[in-house]
A = this chain, B = another copy of it.
Amino acid sequence: MDTVLSATPIPAGFSPIAAPPGFVRFCGGFHFHDELPIIGVRIGGHLLNSVGIVHGGFLATLADTAFGLVFKRQFGLDVPPVTVNLNLDYLSAVREDDWLEAHVQVLKFGSSFANADCQLKVGDRVVLRSSGIFTVWKGRRPMAG
């Protein structure tokens, strides 16, 4: 276990996210940078697909989760905005043990919509370019009960 931990350190500035029960906890191990709009995760073997690289669905999950976390922190929301559209361009493969970062940039936070970009990176290499459209809910929880 010591060996595993020393082989996969978390970079300075990132703190683990207390994920709620459900899919994000299930995916496991997301970290939020304390100041920057960046989510990081160390890639485990449970995130791979049938040809041994990270599954595209996990990369979509990371981008979608990163959008929500950044919107919540940046605009003081209780719940993340609702995703209306995700567009994902896969540029390069991600492999086991990579430290993968999601860099979010909010472009608009309007009365009806919010728009943002997210690049997933391993080091300086962009592995996925994504953008999202979101609906901002005000004063009530979306689609609850």
A residues apposed to B, CB below 8 Å: 20-24, 26-27, 45-58, 60-65, 79-80, 82-93, 107-108, 112-113, 115, 117, 126, 129, 131, 133, 135, 141-145
Contacts and interface: CB of A to CB of B under 8 A. Distances in A.
A93 B143 CA distance: 8
B84 A133 contact: yes
B80 A90 contact: no
A131 B133 contact: no
Contact of A26 (B20, B26, B135): B26
A48 B22 contact: yes
Nearest to A86: B88
Contacts of A52: 144-145
B126 A50 contact: no
B88 A107 contact: no
Contact of A91 (B107, B126, B135): B107
B23 A46 contact: yes
Contact of A84 (B55, B87, B89, B141): B89
Contacts of A55: 22-24, 61, 64
B56 A79 contact: no
B91 A83 contact: no
A77 to B, nearest CB: 11
A91 B49 CA distance: 27
A18 B49 CA distance: 13
Contacts of A87: 85-88, 131
